[in-house]
């Protein structure tokens, strides 16, 4: 069965819930709608073998209703849960170097950045340091997959990244945003292989958790 057919089953679960959790969630929260249609944020058929998971974003908060559909006939709705929002990125920052000078250390193209003294958009203050950011694909939702993707990018120029770590303050940051009423998300883990990769890039990793109400 195609993803579109499975999606229709997931949408039917939202319109006519068969699971208690789906019903409880929809009794309290609304999902994002665009052009009068529920916004599908992402689809993943690798998270659990033999099933496809569809992610629908909360109306305005950074978390998602996940609905898991079995790939095999009769394509049952297996489970539903709330998926927190994960964001993972690499940041180099410096009070002495400007954005162009930070960028010159590596062949990797940044996703964002600025120079110390640049105006902060929509604010009356200036940037207090220069910064250079690299992020994985924004469509990747899983923390481990985000970190894997980011490391793959950084390792395309390991020598440049290591040089950048010696010239500026560099770190990988992972933030988790979850909704207070829906409980604390699962803890983060780092494999031995990932730790070795971080060591070879001369990088540390910081975790931040944000609770919204």
Coil, strand, or helix at residue 76? Answer: coil
The answer on 106 and 21 residing in a single domain is no
Residue 181 confidence (pLDDT)? 64
Q: Does 89 lie in the same domain as 60?
A: no
Last residue of a domain, one of 50, 84, 118: 84
Number of domains in the chain: 2
Please return the burial class of 125, using the count of CB atoms within 10 Å of its CB with bins 0-12, 13-18 and 19+. Answer: exposed
Q: Is the pTM of this model over 0.85?
A: no
124 and 199 housed in the same domain:
yes
* pLDDT at residue 213, rounded to an integer: 65
What DSSP designation does 39 have? Answer: -
What is the domain extent for residue 33? 3-84
Q: What is the pLDDT along the chain (213 residues), one digit of tens a residue?
A: 468 889 999 999 999 999 999 998 899 889 999 888 898 988 988 888 899 999 998 888 778 899 999 988 787 999 998 888 888 999 999 999 999 999 999 999 999 999 999 999 888 899 999 999 999 987 777 788 899 999 999 999 999 999 999 999 999 999 887 766 666 666 788 999 999 999 999 999 999 888 766
Burial class (CB in 10 A: 0-12, 13-18, 19+), 202: middle
Q: How far apart are CA 31 and CA 65, in angstroms?
A: 8
Question: Do residues 90 and 154 lie in contact, with contact meaning Cβ atoms separated by under 8 Å?
Answer: yes
* Domain identity same for 186 and 125: yes
Tokens of 115: 């120079």
What was the pLDDT predicted at 36? 86
Same domain, 42 and 108: no
Based on the fold, state whether residues 116 and 169 are members of the same structural domain. yes
| Same domain? 161 vs 206 | yes
Last residue of a domain, one of 52, 84, 116: 84
């Amino acid at each position: 069965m195609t993803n579109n057919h499975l999606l229709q089953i997931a949408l039917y679960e939202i319109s006519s819930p068969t699971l208690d959790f789906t019903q409880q969630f929809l009794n309290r929260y609304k999902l994002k709608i665009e052009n009068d249609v529920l916004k599908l944020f992402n689809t993943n058929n690798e998270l659990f073998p033999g099933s496809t998971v569809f992610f629908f974003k909360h109306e305005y908060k950074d978390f998602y209703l996940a609905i898991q559909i079995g790939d095999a006939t009769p394509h049952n709705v297996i489970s539903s849960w709330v998926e927190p929002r994960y964001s993972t990125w690499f940041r180099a920052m410096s009070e002495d170097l400007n954005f162009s000078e930070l960028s010159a250390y590596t062949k990797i193209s940044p996703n964002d950045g600025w120079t110390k003294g640049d105006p902060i958009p929509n604010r009356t203050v200036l940037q207090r340091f220069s910064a250079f950011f690299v992020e994985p694909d924004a469509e990747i939702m899983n923390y481990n997959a985000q970190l894997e993707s980011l490391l793959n990018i950084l390792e395309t120029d390991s020598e440049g990244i290591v040089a950048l770590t010696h010239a500026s303050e560099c770190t990988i940051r992972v933030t988790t945003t979850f909704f207070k009423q829906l409980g604390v998300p699962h803890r983060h883990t780092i494999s031995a292989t990932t730790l070795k990769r971080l060591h070879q890039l001369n990088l540390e990793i910081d975790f931040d958790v944000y609770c919204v109400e």
